[in-house]
Every structure is written in structure tokens, then in C-alpha cells.
Structure 1
């Protein structure tokens, strides 16, 4: 049994609801509404629920089934080969013992009971082999179920009461130049809302870094969303944070960020105060040949 949590965002486009895939991690950044007017009622809830479920079935479930299938089929193929070899060894041993007993019987020994017992054991091994292989082949058949609807959240816009927790295009372009000079290509991941702004990869794909970029505020801090801070803690040394103050760009490791972090639970934000941190400058690397 394989399961995956899906999140679907419905936006109003030209007076009609449009569904888009969203990462469930996005829910981690939402602040529960505790004051003010009640949110508007959901019109045609059943129809919208069916629309969201249909969107999942058409756009999200097939990819999920493919992911599960690739991993499961590879695992089950190994399991099938292991069972075949294991039972082949067991059955071969029974066959060898039968030949030995039949040779003794031909020489005049009474081996009828032993031969009958060994034949039953070999037939039992063959039966168990077929049963186990049939179980493996049954596991190879994937039968997806319709998604189970867990709930709906109405998201209302609200100005953040703390610093800005996003990277603009100009800042990310500056980071891209630095990463490119270091031999890594930067892929923008902001729209995917995965808890980081971009992914930097070397040409061979061996060096992968998850990038967050922020402008330093007037208090000397940078701000991350709750989901981004979770990713910094989870990805640890594979994360790099870029902080820009005026025209100066610095880098922060996940370890340094953890030492200077302050979590604001009310606003679902984390601030990282840069004062006191010895931060290396993020400058473009220029290759020079030795004379």
C-alpha cells in the first residue's frame, strides 16, 4: 500500500475556478485566522470538490502511480529472482537425495518409505515456490484508488507583519551569476513552493545545493517562511543561504543559520540575525591560467 498527500489550489481565473497542483508543504506557511470577519462561504462545494478530485485523478495520480511502479517493479524483480534461485537450490537438494536413495534401493536396500517422504518434501517445495512467485506477481499489479478528500482551506491575503520572505528576480539573477562562475547551473524553483528558491547543480550532477536568497532588512536580519526553515534544518549542509545587503552578497551555511535563528510562531516566520556572524562574501569566481 503506497500513499501520497496531494494539495490542489483553486484560483479564480476569468470568473471560473482553475485548479493547479501545489505542494502540501505550502500549508505549513499558513497562519490560522483568529480574528476579523468570517471568510466567505464556499459556493457549490460539492461540484468544486468533484472538480478537485478529478484534477487529482487526471494530473497527479498518474505520476504517483508511475513513481511507485518504477520503484516497486525493480524491487519485486529482485525478490522474484531471489525466490527462484532459493527454491531451485532446495528442489535440487531433494532431487539429489532421491537419486541417492534410488541407487541404494537398486542395490537391495529397502528405501520405499524414505523415497516416498523425500518425494513429498520435493513436491511441497515446488508448491510453495509457485505460491510465493504468484504472490510476487500479484504485488506487481497496481490498482489506484480515487483520492480521499481530507479537507479544504480558504486562504485570504494578508500583509506580513514581519520582514519579506521571498527572493526577487534581480537577487536570484545575482545568485545565478555566482553559481555559474562556480560551475553550477541554477534552476528557479520558486513557483513550485518546495521550501527553497532554486536548485544549483554541477555539470555532472554530483554536486547539488538547495538555494535560498534574501534581502537583508533594516534590522540586519533575513526572513524565511516556516516551510523554508524546515527545509534548511532537513537538508542541512546541502542548503546555502544568500543574503544581500546593499550590493554586497554573502553566504550563510545551515549551521550558522541555526545558531542565529529566532522563530516567530505567530507569523509562521523565522528570522536570522546576521550581526556577529563571520560571513564569506559571495563573489564570482574568475578562472586564471598560471604563467
Structure 2
């Protein structure tokens, strides 16, 4: 009984090895034979995964930026009219300190505001030289008690005659969230379009393989070959298209991330405005799996339909 089990195990291992060898040889032969369609299927798969990766990267950046600024959403910059003097600005500061909604108020002279902006922009440019003077007005840095108070406080501050504009982080984050939703919807539509094109090209590449080997497939069916023995190379071919497409897309998305990171780090203004999150290896691995899913889905669809049709 033990000898019979050992023999069966060896036979099973040999059959499995031959099956895998058959799948690999036939898949690579088909890729080489129809190289133009193989390139089109791979590039289409890579493009679809690349668009999906860029979409996820943008969402990651925006979410990280919002989380990094979560503690600052109750902070406001209140810019006064240019004709408001320093004395009037300080009197307004004292009045605002008595507001229940406000936690703290700090007067910032326009000269100090100019120095802060020039320091942020670097020594390459001087706003005072460009404008022939200080173009900035006095401002008040206001911190509300809570986010809800910040929204209500901003509405009341805009009604004051001395106030020209109010920049509230809660408004900025609300606008960013709205833009993110638009980007997500538009990106998903683009992913669906490119994904459909990728699936079509992968399926067409598999159909070409089946058509070129239709006589061999019929002979294999006549001699008793199983459907998995016939479909195996076709599924592996689609797997290769998806693997290469996912790998190309992952490398491209990583390149875009590095380029953006260098651009932001080289510019002090962008460094203040944008927070570049670093994607983990799981992010790029998910793109690879996304490409594999495209390849397998396209090959499974084409192989199941056409092999059954040839039968």
C-alpha cells in the first residue's frame, strides 16, 4: 500500500511538472509569435493600471494633507483693508479677544507679513521690489475654540467693515474634499474606459492564439485532453500580460511620485502648500495585483468562450 502511494505521488508530480512545462512553453511561444498584439495588450493593461495608480496616489496625497492639517482647521487669517491703520487694527484685535467663539487673536504687522512671505519664497524674489512698496495689508491671526466655531466666526468676521478677506482652513479643506470627489469620479470613469480597452486587447490576443492553434486544440480534444490542459497556456498568457502591465504601471507611478517629491522639496512655497505622503510597498503591490486581475479576467473570458465554441 505504501509502495502504491509512493508511485501515485511520483506519477502525480511528473504529470503536474509536464503540465506546467507545457503551459510555460506554449504561453511564451504564443507571446513571441503574436508580439505586436502582445505589446498592445501589455501597454493597454499598463495604461489602465497607471491611471488607477495615479488616482489612488492623488487621493493618498489629499487625505494625508487633510490629516496633517486637521489640528489647524480652527485657524484663520483675517486680512484687513489697506486703509486700516495699525492703531485701528490693534483696537479690532482687542474687540475680537472678547468674542466667545475666539480662543486667541494675534496682530501681525504688514512688514512682518512681507518678511514671512519673502522668507517662504526664498531670496530669488522680493515682493517689495516688484510692487514698489509693501503690497500686503495688516492681518490678524485668529484661532477659534473649535471647528464649528471657526466656520461661524469666519462668517461674522467677513461682515466687519475693517475686514477685506478671511482665509479659513475649514473652507479650504471642504473645497479640497469636493475636488477630491470630482477627481475620484472622473478617475474611476477613466479607469473603467481604459480597463475595458485592456480586457478587450488581452481577450483578442488570446483569441488569436486559439485561432492559430485551433487544429491542435481539436486534436487534443479528440485524444482526450482535459479543458484545463488546453486552457492552461491561454490563462498563463493573460497572466503574463497582466504581470508585465502591472509592473510597468507600478514603476511609472513610483517615478511620478519621486518627481513630485523632488519638485516640492526644491520649492519652499510648494513645501508649505503641499504635503507629499510616502506610499508603502503595499500600495505598489496592489497595483501589480490589479494588473494581474486584468490579465487573468481577460484570458479566462476568451479561453472559456472560444474553447467551448471550438468543441
Give TM-score, length-normalised by structure 2: 0.22
Of Structure 1 and Structure 2, the greater strand share is in: 1
Which has the bigger relative contact order, CA under 8 A and spacing at least 6? Answer: 2
TM-score by length of 1: 0.23
User: Whose helix proportion is higher, 1 or 2?
Assistant: 2
